[in-house]
Structure 1
Amino acid sequence: MQLRASSDASGVRTAMVNGMRGKRVVVTGGSRGLGEQIVRLLLAEGALVATCAREAAGLKALDASLSEEARTRLLTEELDVTEPGRLEDFVSTAAKRFRESVGPAAPDDVRAAAEADALDGIVACVGGSRGGAFEQTDIADWAATWEMNIGHAVRLTRAALPCLRGAGGGSIVLITSISGWKPGPPAQYGAAKSAQIHLAASLARELAPDGIRVNAVSPGSMLIPGRRWDRMRKEDPRAYAAFAGAELPGGEPVTPQEVARAVVFLLSDWASGVSGAHLPVDRAQNAPSPYGY
């Protein structure tokens, strides 16, 4: 296995591991933001990828932006991961389609890896929060936030376990947040992300005998077009500058591409000794919100 140079979506040249070629990976929430960058990097590294999202438009745009060869290694489906049974069916379908979609023109190592209905990795990237301040957030908001984060991660993992075991082991990465270990509102989001961090550590011990590694990655604030920090930067530049000056020691937030590199590393064979870890990727960010501690 060797290091080789590759370019991410931002055009930055970086040395990436050459251990993802032919790997079969399911990524939830892969049509935009961090999930999209994870999918793009996995495809650039030669992996077979299945991803889902609630809106078909983002998935179609992702597919259209790829090379013809990369599209042969990508499976997409529009679905809500909180809808009963849909996520589980998607995981099963992905494992089968990886085997069926690899044609005779594919490289030998890719075809060999896809001979069985199996998976080498999963990334639980869907997340979010419903409700607002504590007194304005009802129990239904708490339940919805829990299901989007910890509930979906549990269901994804349970559905993928037989496929991971079928591959002789694999890697699970749960996308959490610095809000899961650095306090800041809203409480329901931080509580759900904290639970994901604990889940990764617990499952790492429980699933180790099966050769399955489990790790959590906590991104800091990320500049994603149309999302919170990007809107603040455009609509209230003074507030954004105050936030960056107080909470971002490096002066700017981490990029989705930087977080994606950490995720792909944990999925790769180069991280074979890493399990039960909680990896913040946040440029040493202080508080996760403009409100400080």
Structure 2
Amino acid sequence: MTDAGHTGGQRAATGQFAGRRIVVTGGSRGLGEHIVRLLLSEGARVATCARKPEPLEALRSSLDVPTALFTRTLDVSAPELLERFVEEAASALGGLDGVVACAGGARGRGITEATAEDWAATWELNVGHVVRLIAVATPHLRAAGGGSIVVVASVSGWKPGPQAQYGSAKAAQIHMVSSLARELATDGIRVNAVSPGSMLIPGKRWDRMRREDPSAFDRFRTEFPGRELVRPEEVADAIAFLLSDQSRAVTGINLPVDKGQNAPTPEGY
């Protein structure tokens, strides 16, 4: 694990999250990067982690925002490393007011090909990571008088498609949110999920399809009533809403941000 505690720009923090201290897992690329940049631009102090140091360093070096960024390089599914990161982040930021569980992914193929290790790895990355993140962050949120937790789930959590290990893990996340929202409500802690649809992220699956197989991409676009895939900025906006005081009466929900998407993959369901 490599360590990097970083301070951002020199101006006083302003914006709707000024003074807020927020942990975001998986914040160096894609949706996670958009979340981190948005929160920083609105005055938050942010701690984030990723598996490789280079994207974190690239993110840090590109920032021109009036706040602090704290980073660690780690695998969120590795025992104890995630817990240590959260404790160090809370210490560096002076506490925690919000948490975003964004890290996720899948291993393996179909049911006859995926191994028990594929299933275990997919569940640990999605479900285990979220459980441990919330467990270690909760005392810090309690100490701050409450806070907001947002879990990045997926439309695959209730619109079935391949592969089952990923969809079932995302379904577990959604159920977990509804349960923990009740458990933590007396502490003033809100827990919600956001379920993105298929996002058009540069260099990722759908962007590659768009460039390499335009006809297949056009067919996939028909799964969206407006014929447009979701942009990560749109999902980040929804997450920021659930972290903000504007959603203070909202807890235990799963908010789809999918532009009305039908099947979650070109293979249908």
Scaled by the length of structure 1, the TM-score of the pair is 0.86
* Alpha-carbon RMSD: 1.1
Q: 1:125 aligns with which of 98, 102, 127?
A: 102
Q: Is the 8 A contact 1:20 1:269 kept in 2?
A: no
Structure 1 CA distance for aligned equivalents of residues 169 and 15 of structure 2:
34
Q: 2:46 aligns with which of 46, 49, 59?
A: 49
Structure 1 CA distance for aligned equivalents of residues 90 and 96 of structure 2:
6
Match of 2:111 in 1: 134
Structure 1 CA distance for aligned equivalents of residues 142 and 179 of structure 2:
18
- What are the equivalent positions in structure 2 for 1:1-293 lying under 5 Å apart? 18-67=15-64, 69-70=65-66, 72-99=67-94, 118-245=95-222, 247-293=223-269
Question: Per-residue deviation at 1:224?
Answer: 1.1
The amino acid across from 1:152 in the alignment is: H
Question: Per-residue deviation at 1:249?
Answer: 1.1
Match of 1:6 in 2: none
Structure 1 CA distance for aligned equivalents of residues 225 and 246 of structure 2:
30
Question: Per-residue deviation at 1:18?
Answer: 4.6
Q: Is the 8 A contact 2:15 2:41 kept in 1?
A: no
Question: Per-residue deviation at 1:19?
Answer: 3.2
Q: Is the 8 A contact 1:124 1:175 kept in 2?
A: yes
Match of 1:8 in 2: none
Structure 2 CA distance for aligned equivalents of residues 250 and 49 of structure 1:
34
Question: Per-residue deviation at 1:204?
Answer: 0.2
Q: Is the 8 A contact 1:19 1:270 kept in 2?
A: no
Structure 1 CA distance for aligned equivalents of residues 52 and 228 of structure 2:
30
The amino acid across from 1:134 in the alignment is: I
Q: Is the 8 A contact 1:177 1:220 kept in 2?
A: yes
Q: What is the SS of the residue equivalent to 2:106?
A: coil
Structure 2 CA distance for aligned equivalents of residues 89 and 197 of structure 1:
25
Moved over 2 A (4+): none
Q: Identical aligned pairs, as a percentage? A: 63
C-alpha distance after superposition, 1:247-280 (max 9, x if no partner): 1111111100000000011001111000001100
Match of 2:4 in 1: none
Structure 2 CA distance for aligned equivalents of residues 98 and 276 of structure 1:
27
For structure 2, list consecutive stretches of 5 or more residues without a partner in the other structure.
1-13
Question: Per-residue deviation at 1:242?
Answer: 0.7
Structure 2 CA distance for aligned equivalents of residues 40 and 92 of structure 1:
22
Q: What is the SS of the residue equivalent to 1:43?
A: helix
Q: Is the 8 A contact 1:219 1:280 kept in 2?
A: yes
Question: Per-residue deviation at 1:98?
Answer: 1.1
Aligned residue pairs total: 256
Q: What is the SS of the residue equivalent to 1:159?
A: helix
Structure 1 CA distance for aligned equivalents of residues 19 and 158 of structure 2:
35
Match of 2:9 in 1: none
